[in-house]
């Protein structure tokens, strides 16, 4: 691996959801040894790094995002030694490793919740007009209901922005800040290359506990669920994105700078996302933030303005730092179904999947590819009795929640449970995924898997795509996206047909989901002979 400090700029990361990646011991749950066994698959894609979702000790009420011990591996996933082995092999393969840190809240099973209650946010009840006990303000949980839970033993409410089993830490307490920076240092010393910081703008709350005002309904949904929900009815100006957060992030960045070449990726959710992103990537703060703009919502027709608008909004903040983009992740409907024009939210078209890989890699920023995107996996459809996600159970039948993108990865469609495990998986193996398994696609040189490998290896040598500026150009059709990437003396014209109908652009025919990048057309990435003869040289810029 190169040791450049800014190695992450323009890099491609592969996101791993451990529970569903590969199960090495037959208990139906993916684990760290399973990741280690399959790292060659990831390295062969041509990515630079991996992001691993939480694997810490947890009661799994929110599947690892409720941490009970920040310095230990949950036995479901293995041991610290297993993670050490994973880290070593990844580095040997040239892969950087960033891990998911959930600093804003813990599990209610964390010893701190009993032993150090001052680490959490407590407030007295507020009597209503009839003298009944009510929460101290109107804040609501992302997952529904009040953000306050009554604790009978203490005689107070505690704050939880997510599940009631996920009490929020009180970052106004300096001891909490020191404790969490100690966690960061522990993993840096262990050898990780950086962190994805879960809900990084939730660390601080308004110390005065003021009510949130109403939110402008024209903004649409504030969550992945597109419908009426209490969280989207409030402007969240007091329960998150507080100015005090920046001082803590500067402390965090100061610690990271003691370990040159390490990387911070913040997850933000805010009504004014790009202003917040610019603020959080200012001098001495985060390296980049993970944008939700291209990875949200449910089934819709993909148009050029859906890609263009976020970039133009970002351009209003010229000092807004380096962006990061994803089309899919562990919290959203898979893009292969979400943007499939003919689909119902669960179908897909391999041509669309390939086009989306090419488009994601052509955008300005660092790229995050979610496990299964290299196979073009569609969203899985589950029955209510199969759901595990508490959010999905709460919203059923309006939405099945996040389980549809979390089903196990199919490694071999001819094997039981798709080769993911020898035992029954924690979520069903989607039958629609079996024909798209790794083994099937290995044998098909025109598969999405082979396309992804060719494209990402080619992209690695294109400084214009990794580091260049981006300028959009107007087109005559809402489904045709045209932009130019330029770096120094290198320029690449990028044209994408985002729809399932043929188009004509500058006298050239564009088939459904067709694209061209400079002198290369989509068909060129299907030609083995063409790519076997082509040199995948690595650009030295960056």
Catalytic residue positions? 198, 258
Q: Which of 399, 382, 380 is nearest to 391 (CA)?
A: 399
**235 and 215 in contact (C-beta within 8 Å)?**
yes
In DSSP notation, 48-91 reads SEEEE---EE---TTTTSS-SEEEEE-TTT--HHHHHHHHHHHH
Phi, psi for 522 (deg, rounded to 5): -55, -40
Q: Which helix (H) or strand (E) holds 441?
A: helix 438-442
* β-pairing verdict for 194-197 and 503-505: unpaired
Cα separation of 120 and 158, whole Å? 7
**DSSP 8-state code for residue 411:** S
**98 and 50 in contact (C-beta within 8 Å)?**
yes
Q: Which of 323, 315, 337 is nearest to 367 (CA)?
A: 323
CA atoms within 13 A on the CB side of 222: 23
506 phi-psi bin (left φ>0, alpha ψ -120 to 50, beta other):
left
Q: How far is the first Cα of the chain from the last one, in angstroms, to the nearest whole number?
A: 13
Retrieve residue 393's tokens: 């159970």
Compute how many other C-beta atoms are within 10 angstroms of the C-beta atom of residue 537: 11
Q: Which of 32, 19, 104 is nearest to 70 (CA)?
A: 104
Cα separation of 232 and 219, whole Å? 9
User: How large is the C-alpha radius of gyration of the chain?
Assistant: 23
Retrieve residue 510's tokens: 């564009």
DSSP-assigned beta bridge partners for residue 368: 13, 326
Cα separation of 139 and 237, whole Å? 10
**244 and 279 in contact (C-beta within 8 Å)?**
no
Q: Which helix (H) or strand (E) holds 275?
A: helix 273-280
Cα separation of 244 and 320, whole Å? 19
What three-state secondary structure class fits 123? strand
């Amino acid at each position: 691996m190169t040791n450049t400090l800014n190695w992450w700029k323009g890099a491609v990361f592969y996101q791993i959801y451990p529970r569903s990646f590969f199960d090495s011991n037959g208990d139906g749950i993916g684990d760290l040894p399973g990741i280690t066994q399959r790292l060659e698959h990831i390295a062969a894609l041509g990515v630079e790094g991996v992001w691993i979702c939480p694997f810490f000790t947890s009661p799994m009420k929110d599947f690892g995002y409720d941490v009970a011990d920040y310095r230990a591996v949950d036995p479901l996933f293995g041991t610290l030694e297993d993670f050490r082995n994973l880290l070593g092999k990844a580095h040997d393969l040239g892969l950087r490793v960033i891990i998911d840190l959930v600093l804003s809240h813990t599990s209610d099973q964390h010893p701190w919740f009993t032993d150090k209650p001052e680490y959490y946010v407590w407030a007295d009840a507020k009597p209503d007009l009839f003298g009944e006990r009510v929460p101290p303000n109107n804040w609501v949980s992302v997952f529904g209901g009040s953000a306050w839970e009554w604790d009978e033993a203490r005689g107070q409410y505690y704050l939880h922005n997510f599940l009631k089993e996920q009490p929020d830490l009180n970052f106004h307490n300096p001891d909490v800040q020191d404790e969490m920076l100690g966690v960061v240092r522990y993993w840096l010393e262990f050898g990780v290359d950086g962190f994805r910081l879960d809900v990084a703008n939730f660390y601080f709350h308004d110390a005065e506990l003021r009510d949130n005002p109403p939110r402008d309904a024209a903004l649409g949904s504030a969550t992945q669920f597109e419908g009426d929900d209490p969280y989207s009815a409030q402007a969240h100006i007091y329960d998150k994105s507080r100015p005090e957060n920046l001082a803590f992030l500067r402390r965090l960045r100061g610690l990271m700078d003691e370990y040159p070449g390490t990387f911070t990726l913040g997850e933000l959710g805010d009504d004014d996302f790009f202003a917040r992103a610019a603020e959080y990537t200012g001098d001495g703060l985060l390296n980049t933030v993970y944008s939700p703009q291209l990875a949200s919502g449910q089934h819709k027709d993909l148009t050029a303005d859906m890609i263009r608008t976020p970039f133009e909004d970002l351009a209003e903040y010229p000092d807004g730092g380096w962006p990061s983009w994803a089309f899919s992740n562990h919290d959203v409907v898979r893009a292969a179904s979400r943007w499939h024009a003919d689909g119902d939210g669960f179908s897909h078209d391999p041509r669309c999947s390939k086009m989306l890989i090419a488009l994601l890699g052509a955008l300005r920023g660092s790229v995050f590819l979610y496990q299964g995107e290299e196979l073009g996996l569609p969203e899985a459809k589950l029955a209510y009795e199969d759901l595990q996600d508490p959010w999905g159970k709460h919203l059923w039948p309006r939405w099945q929640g996040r389980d549809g993108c979390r089903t196990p990865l199919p490694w071999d469609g001819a094997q039981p449970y798709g080769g993911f495990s020898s035992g029954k998986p924690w979520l069903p193996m989607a039958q629609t995924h079996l024909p798209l398994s790794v083994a099937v696609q290995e044998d098909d040189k025109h598969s999405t898997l082979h396309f992804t490998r060719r494209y990402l290896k080619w992209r690695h040598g294109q400084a214009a795509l990794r580091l260049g500026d981006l300028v959009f150009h107007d087109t005559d059709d809402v489904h045709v996206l045209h932009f130019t990437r330029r770096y120094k003396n290198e320029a690449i014209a990028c044209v994408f047909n985002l729809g399932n109908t043929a188009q004509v652009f500058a006298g050239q025919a564009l088939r459904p989901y067709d694209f061209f990048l400079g002198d290369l057309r989509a068909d060129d990435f299907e030609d083995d002979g063409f790519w076997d003869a082509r040199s995948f040289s690595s650009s030295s810029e960056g």
